[in-house]
Every structure is written in C-alpha cells, then in structure tokens.
Amino acid sequence: MAGVDTLEQLHSKEQESLLDAIDQLRSYGVSHHDISLPQVIVCGDQSTGKSSVLEGLTRLRFPTKDAQCTAFATELILRRTSGPTIAILCSIIPSNNRTQAQKQQLEKFQRSFSSREEFSFPSLLEEAKACMKIEATAGADRFSEDILRIRYTGPDLPSLTIVDLPGLIHFQVQRQSDEDAILVQTLVRKYMRNEKSIILAVVSARNDADNQVVLKYVRNEFDPLGTRTLGIITKPDTLDSGSETEQKFIEMAQNKVVKFELGWHVVKNRSFTEREQPDAERDESERRFFATGVWRSVSRSDVGIDALRTKLSKILLHQIRVELPSLVAAIENAIKATETRLQNLGSSRETSDQQRTYLTKKAEIFQTLTEHALRGVPSHPFFDGQEAKKLRTEIQNLNIAFAHIMYQKGHRWTVADDQQTQNPSSPFASSKVEEYDAEVDDPETIPRAEFLESYIGLAVQQNRQPGLLSLVNPFVVCVIFRQQSHRWRDIAKLHINRVVQAVREYVELSLMYQMDSRTYNMLFLEHIGPELEKKRAALEKKLDELLLPYEARDPTMYDPSFGAELDYIRARRSYESKTGAAEGGHSRAKQQLLMQSIDDFTNSEILDLMQTYYKRAITVFINNVAMLAIENCLVADLASIFIPSVVSAMNEEQLRTIGSESEEICTERNALKETLDALQSGKRVLDLQVCNAGIVLRHGLGPRKCLVGAGYPVRIQVSRPQTPASQMGYSGEDDDPIERMSSSFNSLKVSPPSGASKPRPSSASKTRSRTSSVTPAKNATTQPTVNEGFSRSEVDPAQESDTEDDVSTFWPLGKRLPPQAEATRA
C-alpha cells in the first residue's frame, strides 16, 4: 500500500533520533524553564471522540467514559521496532511546582507491560491519580500539572510523540462544576499557547463546529492564521446521508470552511456495537466507509487512521527541524542565565573556612567600593543608577544645604534695617536645599528700634551688675546671642540625621549589591548596625562639644577683623547721626542729644556686638559640623566597619551566624544546579543530533545540512520543495507537500572543494551558473573527509544544485572561513 510505503520512509535513524532528542529534553524538564518544545497536542471538547482517535493511532484502548476522563496531560511516545517485541513503559514527569521530596516520590512511579492485552489504561490512570494525590471530588485537587508518560515501542507504529489533554468542559454541563471547567481550560490553554505546539483540534460531526470550544480557542486566540493547527473530524458515520450538515463537514474536510494550512483529516470511530472489534477489522471498516458514498470526494491522504499516522509523523518531524535553531538558541540563553544566577549565589558555605573566605571577599569589595565612594570616583559598575550610591556627592549636597539653611534661617530674629544682618544666599540650588528649607521656619522680622527697646533694653534692665554702671554688660550680649542662635542645635541635628541616613543607605546598597538578603540581614544585625550606631553616638557627642562654646560659654573672639568691623559699624552710625543732626539744624540736634539716654547708646552697642560676633561664629560652627563632626566621626573611616581584619577576628559562632547560607539559598542553589544539569544535558542531546545529522543552524533560516572535511567546508545544498513550505495542505495522495518536504532532506547535492583527490568536473559543469565551490588554503595537505553520519556514497558531486548560497551559510557557527573563502565572500 502507498500509505505503508510512505510510513516506511519516515523511520530513518536520523528522524527517530530527532524525535527521541525532543522527548529526552522533555524528560529533563527543559519545558519547565520557559523553553517551548515542538510537540503535537490533542485538544477537543468532551465526547468528541478524542480518545478514539488516540486509540486508533496507538492501538491502545483508551477509557471513553466521562467519569474516567484524564485529569492531567498524558504524553504518548510511539516508536517502531524491527522485531515483534512490544514494550510499554509508564512513568510520571513531576511538574516544576512540586517540592524536591514530591518529585522524588513521583519519579518512583514505574509501570511496564509486555503486550497490549496486558496494558489496562483505566487502571493505569487510577494508579497515576493516586500517586499524584488527585482527589475524586471536584475542585482544584481534581487536576494536576504532572505528566503521565507512556513510551510504547513495537512493530507497525509511527515515530510520533503526542500529548493528550483533558477534554474541554462546557459550563452548562451540570455533572461537573464550573470550577472543573476553568481548571481544564487553564491546562489546555497553557499547552495551546506554546507556539511550537502543533494543535490537533478534534471536533465531532455530531455537533455544529461553531459550538465547539476548541475551534473558538484556535481561531480567536492561539492560532488565528491557522498555521499550526490540524483539524480532526470524528464520527462522520453519524451524519444523515445527503443532509446539509454532511455536506458542510465534507467541505470542512476539504479545507473550504475553516481553513488551516495543515488542512483537515477525517477518521471513523468505533460505534458502541463495534467497541470490541479488533484493530484490523476497525481499520477495514473505516476504509470501506471512506471508499463509498460522498466521502469519496475527500482526498485519500485526508481520511483514515493510517493516513493520519503518516501525516502526523511528517508534521512533527518538519516542526522539529524548523524549530531546532530557535530551540538551540533558547537553551543556550537559559544556560547562560542559570550560570549567572549560580555565580551570583557564590560557592557553597557549609564550613567555617568557606564562610570566612566568603565574608573576607565581600569585605574587600565593600572596602574598595567605599573608598571610591568617599573619593568621589564612581568608576565601579555598582555606582550606576541610584544617586544614593555616590556617597561623597550626597554628603556634599547635604552640607551645602546645611550651610544655606543656617545662613538663611539659623537666627531667631531678623532686624529689619540692619544691613549687617543680611545673610548671603546660597549659590547652589538643589532638592536638598528645598528639603531643608521646608523643615525650618522663617526667622521673625522685627524693626531695629523695637528690637532695641523690647528685647535688648529689657535684658539690660533685668541684668544690672553691681558697682559702677558699665556702658556694655557682657552678660547681656551673651543672653541675646544665645537667643539668636537657639536654632543651631535643631538644624544641626536635622543635618546629622540626614547624613547618617545617607551613609546607612549607601552601606545597605553596597552590601546588598554583593550578597544575599539573609547574609546581609545577619551581618547588619550582628555587626554593621552596631558599628553605625557607635558612629552616630560619637557624632552626637561631637555636636554637643561643638555647641558648648555657644550654649554654655561666654562669647570669645580672637579674630583681628572682629574689632575692625565693630569700629567700622560705630563710625558709620556716628556719621549717620551727625549727618541727620546737620540736616535737622543745630537746635534739633541739641534736643536729640538731651533726650537720648545712656541706655539707648548701650542697647545699640550690644546689638552691634552680638551681630558682629554672630556672623563669625556661625561660619565657624558650620565648618566644624561638616569637618570635625561629620567627616571625622562618621565618614573618614567608614570603610573600616567591614574590612578583612574584621572577618579574621570573628569567632566560629559569629561566622556561622553571619556567613552560613539560609535554607532558601541552599534550595535555590540545588534547584539551579538541577536546572543547569537539565539544560546542559538537553544541549548535549541537541548537539549530538546536529552533529550526527550534519545540520548547520542558520540564524533565522532553519537547519541546513553540510559535510565538513579536515579543515574545509564541503557544500551540500538541499533541493528546495517545489511547493512553499507554508502551504501545508493536502490535496491528493500523489501530491503531498509534506512528503516532498520530508524526502527533500535526503536529496543532497554536493560541490566538493577544489584541490581534492577526486576528478575535477568537466568544463561543461564549470559553466553551470548556479553552483559554487570553495578553494582550500594553500598550505592545506589533507583531503576533505565526511562527517560522521554520512557515507561517501551519499555524496554525488555530479548532481546539479538549484540554489546559490554563500559558503558562510554552511560553515559551522563560531569558526573562521579559510582565507580563500573569505576572499571569495568579500
């Protein structure tokens, strides 16, 4: 039979090894790491005959009762053997959300059968449910994300891997809850969303196609262009002969109603009376049905279970070949990402030596980062991003804001007409200045005359000294200055708190940058936090020391310019007084002198003394807070809070408390190692297949075959199918594009390199415009050899190629071309 001959062509070692490679990747759990694998998934509403289709494909009896519907995905691996031996091996692939203990328990599930008669699918499902702990009641425990794997080898089987999914439940069915329907839909949609999945959308001829959920999913959500869906029509024998419904399903089978690039296929299910019918009789009954009546109008390649086996094998093989480059790239990217995450976790820290080494390394990094931060040289990648990492910049900006607010709002009163009390504005505008400005109230503005009478005059009257009256009472100057500088402490505390907060934030960022949260938290709790508190206490103590001369000591000033400025103020006021008297006349000036009391002169002198001293004292205080307090007590030796010598001084208990790993980190590292092992195993599997098949991965263009000799590329060009690969419909038995596509991979045409020992082509062959060859390097002496997986008999240098490609297309990735090839390419 033609169908059997076609199926025979699909059982090359290369094709089966590619399918086995994908199955092995799935067994490694690669699909759990956001890597999609090519697969055929069977989807359909409940009672559409989905199980009967699988039964026809596998020859295994599937449960057909709704009560025994699958509650998880079932992976069916069919492989053909040359002998008559049958082997059925069953196991469970745990889902990624299982704990390690649960995975180990599920992996113990193993069942084997040596014949189809011995195999009982319903019993196997119940045992698998019990192992997965799936409850019989409705709800979340009714379904599982684990996969039941059945590997079935024997004669007369296609090389095929199929994933069977639970039947979609309609919400109006009252026998099962809406919650069950949602859970089934979630599971099915998860598989359909995978763009590498070939969807077998099973629809029953008993129901209108528009009412079947699976088609709504395909057409509206997951495959609106119909590029990766093969429609399956079941139960065609239930249609009334000659009815409009029968004609509609015939047109659907001919890909005229709902169009899919993979087309449609029709199979006839066993009826209730035929349920015990042997497989051979079932197939013969199906062939007779499609050979008679209106179904004869449908192509023979689109009806019957035999043709479906062949078609699915071709589709899956083609899908694997197409997706192989992107699959290799995805696994390589996942390996790099996993290795990076493992590297970030660092080495295991079980012993005290490992813990000490780990903390010492982190201390060295912290010391280096902090030194760079304090020098204002952010050359390390750590400093990219958040401004809080640039500690010196943060402290400078805070100091500028502190100076600004002290000059602008550090005094209690602003005497209105006194030019000497005008404070310089800050030349630096920043967000820090705005924050400080919002925290401190504006000074009280008061006219000079009122201030002299209400504040200084009152203070003079309340603080008369014994003995001869003095023009200036030094104690009153001290009292007025302390009232004027009363805000200094609050503003300085505000500033210190902000600087301490900035330092703490920097320390947190620099430590979290290089270690896990558990280690950081314990290090901060046990060591860093107490050290920062010590520095904060020293800083506050220094502030008290700096404020002491202004809050508890008499004002003292040894700056020579202090007396000079005071003389200037006195001279200016005397000049203003004389000028005013001259303008008002001699009599008026004499009257003002008679009316002026000694206290008026004294009050003015006290104000001048206080303000002149205040101007110099505030500058000294600002600088002292910045340098003596913040710089000396907090910033200068910040790196010393966590340096290697600190780690060396830790005892065993401290090391264990700080440096040991949390259970979460250990679990994460083990999981990452398992992931990396799975990905690397998968990569080796693919590399082996690529090597054996001679497949060169062309970025974005799918696989091509080539043979590589001893230092030379040997071009093997693949004859392209006459029909575009995207047109994957099936119009007839003798015109099958997937058949042409499959066989084209074995139609290899070779242009050997010049300079080889083989006869050179004739002059006629040199004139062929659509072939090219590669010239070997001058100093190359060895002859080209053929890669493992191909014999020399498979290479026909006389064949003509119908394509023209640059040699770099076929050269293995990461290898440099020979000089002549580079020149030819240029």
Complete DSSP assignment for 8-45: HTT--HHHHHHHHHHHHHHHTTGGGGT----EEEEEEB
Residues 6+ apart with CB under 8 A from 704: 695, 696, 698, 716, 717, 718, 809, 810
pLDDT in tens, 122-163: 889 889 988 988 655 545 456 778 889 999 888 877 777 888
Cα–Cα distance measured from residue 200 to residue 40, given in angstroms and rounded to the nearest whole number: 7
Per-residue pLDDT, averaged over 275-293, amounts to 85
Cα–Cα distance measured from residue 412 to residue 779, given in angstroms and rounded to the nearest whole number: 92
Nearest to 724 by CA among 711, 740, 707, 706: 740
- Does some domain include residue 679? no
CATH code for the domain of 179: 3.40.50.300
Confidence of residue 525 (pLDDT cuts 50, 70, 90): very high
Per-residue pLDDT, averaged over 735-745, amounts to 44
Mean pLDDT comparison of 80-84, 444-448, 595-599, 710-714, highest-scoring range: 444-448
Q: Per-residue b/e over 723-747, b at no fewer than 16 CB within 10 Å? A: bebeebbbbeeeebbbbbbbbebee
How is residue 406 written in tokens?
């002290």
- Does some domain include residue 568? no
Same structural domain for residues 168 and 232? yes
- Does some domain include residue 599? no
What pLDDT, on the 0 to 100 scale, is given for residue 669?
84
Confidence of residue 1 (pLDDT cuts 50, 70, 90): very low
Q: Are 163 and 70 in contact (CB under 8 A)?
A: no
DSSP three-state, residue 441: coil
Residue type, 231: G
Same structural domain for residues 393 and 308? no
Q: Count CA within 13 A, CB hemisphere, residue 786.
A: 14
- Does some domain include residue 685? no
Q: Are 37 and 22 in contact (CB under 8 A)?
A: yes
How is residue 40 written in tokens?
């055929």
* Sole residue written with tokens 């904060």: 536
Q: Which domain holds residue 716?
A: 694-825
What does DSSP assign to residue 558? -
Q: Are 802 and 718 in contact (CB under 8 A)?
A: no
Per-residue pLDDT, averaged over 289-312, amounts to 90
CA dihedral 405, 409, 415, 416 (to 10 degrees): 80
Residues 6+ apart with CB under 8 A from 94: 102, 103, 106, 107, 146
Cα–Cα distance measured from residue 529 to residue 509, given in angstroms and rounded to the nearest whole number: 14
Same structural domain for residues 392 and 277? no
What pLDDT, on the 0 to 100 scale, is given for residue 31?
67
* Lowest mean per-residue pLDDT among 509-518, 577-586, 710-719: 710-719
Same structural domain for residues 327 and 189? yes
- Does some domain include residue 351? no
What pLDDT, on the 0 to 100 scale, is given for residue 170?
62
Same structural domain for residues 209 and 111? yes
Element at 546 (helix H, strand E): helix 529-551
Confidence of residue 807 (pLDDT cuts 50, 70, 90): very low
Same structural domain for residues 817 and 729? yes
Same structural domain for residues 320 and 378? no
Cα–Cα distance measured from residue 184 to residue 169, given in angstroms and rounded to the nearest whole number: 7
One-character DSSP codes across 318-377: HHHHHHHHHHHHHHHHHHHHHHHHHHHH-S---SHHHHHHHHHHHHHHHHHHHHHHHHT-
Same structural domain for residues 141 and 217? yes
What does DSSP assign to residue 142? G
pLDDT in tens, 325-337: 888 888 888 889 8
Same structural domain for residues 129 and 227? yes
Burial class (CB in 10 A: 0-12, 13-18, 19+), 576: exposed
Residue type, 297: S
Q: Structurally, how many domains does the chain consist of? A: 3
Element at 198 (helix H, strand E): strand 197-204
* pLDDT surpasses 70 at 814: no
- Does some domain include residue 784? yes
What does DSSP assign to residue 67? G
CATH code for the domain of 384: 1.20.120
**Mean pLDDT taken over the chain:** 76
Q: What are phi and psi of 163, to 5 degrees?
A: -110, 115
Q: Count CA within 13 A, CB hemisphere, residue 79.
A: 21
Distances (CA, A) of 324 to 118, 688, 703: 37, 13, 7
- Does some domain include residue 579? no
Distances (CA, A) of 673 to 342, 349, 662: 8, 16, 17
- Does some domain include residue 683? no
How is residue 339 written in tokens?
């290795």
Same structural domain for residues 288 and 427? no
Same structural domain for residues 489 and 539? yes
Same structural domain for residues 186 and 107? yes
Cα–Cα distance measured from residue 739 to residue 7, given in angstroms and rounded to the nearest whole number: 10
Q: What are phi and psi of 804, to 5 degrees?
A: -135, 115
Residues 6+ apart with CB under 8 A from 374: 391, 392, 635, 636, 638, 639
Confidence of residue 796 (pLDDT cuts 50, 70, 90): very low
Cα–Cα distance measured from residue 336 to residue 28, given in angstroms and rounded to the nearest whole number: 17
Residues 6+ apart with CB under 8 A from 776: 711, 712, 753, 754, 755, 756, 784, 818, 820
* Lowest mean per-residue pLDDT among 360-369, 563-572, 606-615: 563-572
- More confidently predicted of 612 and 425: 612
